[in-house]
Every structure is written in structure tokens, then in C-alpha cells.
Structure 1
Amino acid sequence: MASVFAFFDSGGHLEFREGTADRVFGALDPRQASPVAFTVQRCSWGGDGLEGHISNTARFVGTYPPNPVATGVVTALGGPQEYIFGNLVICGSRWSPTEDEPPSRCGLSQAQQDLIGDVHIAVRREAADARW
């Protein structure tokens, strides 16, 4: 089943892509390194969360260019304050009623897409203002 994911390219441009997780995560890294997941917003008590994915090699500064827009979006959404290099995919995560089961990955809801889109606009505007 196709889901919607937020894809940020290394230049910080946002595109909402529809597809399976494997297909969308395949766009993370032209070298096809496996993605590394991290929590952006934790899901709990039946609520949905957000999960970020970067290339496994994206943490190496020399491999991919820094992505200040993606870094700013993740920080503004309450995610870890680590610098992101290269491409970023954000997907949804759904709370599991049992402690034994980790949250499940899912597509983004319309509300999550709107939130990510609004934050992206604000971060890009702030970055443009900082250059002047």
C-alpha cells in the first residue's frame, strides 16, 4: 500500500512523495546505503509520531553536503539537534499498544504533511533572512 513521505533533498527542497517505504528510502542515497532511523516526535498513547531517516553514511561530513534546511526542520519539530548531511526522509510512526512491540512506521497524515510544510517554509524564510 502506498503512503506519503516527506523527502528533503540535499539542497533543502521538500517534496511529498507517495510510495512504499522501500522505494522512498531508496532515494536517500545514490550509493544505496541502508537508512538510519531516528525519532523526531515520539508517538505515545495512541497518537502518531514522526521518524526521520538519513543515509547510513550521511553522518560523515565529507560524504554529503550539509543540509541546513533539513536540520532546521528536524530541530523545529523537536527532533535531535544533530546536523544532517545529504537527503532526509520523514515518515509517520504509530504507537503500539504493547511494550514488546516497537512503534510501527506509516505514511504521514494530512495534518503531519501540513505541519512539515509550514515548518519548512518558516525555516527557509529564516535562512534567507539570515543571509541578508
Structure 2
Amino acid sequence: MNAYKGKITFDKEQCVLCQTCAFVCPAGAINITCVEPQKSYDFIIWHNTCTVCGNCTYFCPTGAITLSNTLAEATPQSEKYTSITANIVEYGECPNCHEPMINVPLTMLKRSFKTISEPITSLFKLCPKCRRDHTFERRVL
């Protein structure tokens, strides 16, 4: 009989590269390395090292990492040494100044604001500097 353990899944569209998951992982199973500064990062979960403690899912601010409890999504114990989750997380571009930036996922906005409107979503498509400038112009001038 094969033993199964849960599986950590990763959604790169939700990731903001805060690296909290790698910091809180007691097993060191999550590795985030820079491929090209302010362009892209390798995001790797080593399932052979993962203890399925759930720290990464608990502390992830955007829900980019989830833990599956279903047998259909679990990794068989016999494959645990060859099973990894690998993605490239890429920076977006500010539509105003064209500087590289991490996009703010909608799930994070929903956790931060009671209601999500078009002005809020368009504001968070800007980089932090352009967002500050835009907000300052609206409030002061």
C-alpha cells in the first residue's frame, strides 16, 4: 500500500515575491532565487523536503500557496524525491513610468478593501512611486 501526503500548490499569478513562505518554512523546502534582477525569479518547492506543516499557506498574504488534502492531488510517497513545483515569477511593468514592478493580485485587494472599484484596481496597477504621485495630486491639488 502506498503512503500519501498532501501537496503544496503554487499560483504564480497571486505571488508578490514577499518571500514570507521561504522564511517561515522550517524544512527549507521553498527556494526563491533571482534569475534576472527586477525581471524574474525562480520559485521552487522541493516536495521531498516539505513536511506539509502548512506554515507557507498560513502566512502567505495573497493565497498563492495552498495545501491540498485530497488524495487525488497528493504526491505518492514513491515519487516524493522527484516531485518539485517550479515556476518563474515575472515582474510586470508600470503603465505610467514603465518601471518593473510586482503586480498586486485581486485577491490581495479583496482582503484589503471592503469594496473593490475601478479606481482602486487601476490605482494598484501603478508602481508604488506612481501610485503615491497619483494619490498626492488628487488630494493636494
For Structure 1 versus Structure 2, the TM-score category normalised by the shorter chain is under 0.3
Whose Rg is larger? 2
TM-score relative to the length of structure 2: 0.24
TM-score relative to the length of structure 1: 0.25
